[in-house]
Amino acid sequence: MRSLEELHATSMSSGKLSWEPFFPNLATSFDARGEQSRLAELAGMARGQFACWLNRSKTPSLENILEFCYVCNVTPLQVLRGDLAPLKRVIQEGKPYRLPRSRRLYRPVDREQCLVRIQAILDGREEPLGYVPLAHQLGYSGSALLYHFPQECALLTKKVQEYRRQRKEQRLAQVQNEIRQATLTIHAQGVYPSQNKVADLLSDPNFLFQPEAKATWRALCRELGWKQ
């Protein structure tokens, strides 16, 4: 949080920050051969991943940058400004300032287990579920499931979208029915079924804030002969 506040304060006072110097400056923190690999290991990163940062073949997320800087006790702004003393200290001492978080070990995908769950959802034997939450239930990442079952994941997404559309229509029909009953009840008393009076009889007064629900109330008032 302090690093983010530091970046924000600097951008507010000096204008939009450019991240271009970050990676060239990071590369200059190595004085001897092998120090790049050593820093990657100390930060809990794969050597190839760190090399991709430096040669700009892959741009890391801000989260990854913050995590790397946190482990090495340096802020992104320090690296942007070329203040690399904290990084050099970590390399020289051969230990990170803070321990990197442990990484989950790679877990092979059980294709048979995944297909059983996917088919159960597609057949309607289980409630519709997107491939990302399904993957998490199975103990995998969403990208892993998408890689192994691209067509099935597309079908899951389509099924979830259709399920949500149907649920929305059902909820709207329920709300409209409540509004009709409330409006007719008040009308039968010879009283104008105002929006507030109708809302008081609904299970949730906020229903009338929905455009479709309000349109239903207005149309019914006109049918009953009430001029708003």
The pLDDT confidence band at residue 162, using thresholds 50, 70 and 90, is very high
Backbone angles phi, psi at 31, to 5 degrees: -105, -25
The two structure tokens encoding residue 31: 């004085």
* Mean pLDDT along residues 146-174: 92
Residue that finishes a domain, picked among 38, 58, 93: 93
- Alpha carbon 108 to chain centroid, angstroms: 25
pLDDT higher than threshold 80 for residue 102:
no
Task: Give yes or no: residues 31 and 63 share one domain.
Answer: yes
Rg (the chain; Cα; Å): 29
* Per-residue confidence band for 163, with pLDDT thresholds at 50, 70 and 90: very high
| 73 and 119, same domain (yes or no) | no
Q: How far apart are CA 222 and CA 228, in angstroms?
A: 8
**In a shared domain, residues 34 and 7:** yes
Question: Residue 86 is part of which domain span?
Answer: 2-93
Percent of the chain with pLDDT over 90: 37
Q: Is residue 99 part of a domain?
A: no
What average pLDDT score do residues 128-149 get?
90
Q: Is residue 98 part of a domain?
A: no
128 and 82 in a single domain? The answer is no
Q: Of 93, 119, 143, at which residue does a domain stop?
A: 93
**For all residues of the chain together, what is the average pLDDT?**
88
More confident call, 1 vs 103: 1
d(CA 128, CA 125): 9
Answer whether 54's CB lies under 8 Å from 30's CB.
no
The reply to whether 154 and 87 lie within a common domain is no
Are residues 58 and 124 part of one domain? Answer: no
**Do both 78 and 179 map to the same domain?**
no
CATH number of the domain at 62, please. 1.10.260
| 72 and 117 share one domain | no
In a domain, 76, yes or no: yes
Quick: pLDDT tens for 27-48.
Answer: 888 877 788 888 888 888 888 8
pLDDT classification of 228: cutoffs 50, 70, 90: low
Q: What is the model's pLDDT at position 131?
A: 92
Residue 155: what pLDDT?
Answer: 95
Instruction: State the Cα–Cα distance between residues 178 and 213, nearest whole angstrom.
Output: 10
- The pLDDT of residue 112 is 93
Q: Is 185 left (phi over 0), alpha (psi -120 to 50) or beta?
A: alpha
- Domains held by the chain: number: 2
pTM of the model: 0.47
CB 38 within 8 A of CB 11: no
Residues 87 and 169 in one domain: no
Instruction: Please state, in angstroms and rounded to a whole number, the distance separating the CA atoms of residues 89 and 72.
Output: 9
Residue 57 has pLDDT above 60, yes or no: yes
pLDDT of residue 204: 87
Final residue of a structural domain among 65, 93, 121 = 93
pLDDT digits (tens, 9 = 90+) for 62-89: 888 999 999 888 999 999 999 989 888 8
DSSP per-residue codes, 69-133: HHHHT--HHHHHTT--HHHHHHHHHTS-SSPPPPPPPP----HHHHHHHHHHHHTTSS----HHH
pLDDT score, position 37: 86
* pLDDT top residue among 209 and 149: 149
Helix pair 131-138, 150-188: axis angle to 10 deg: 110
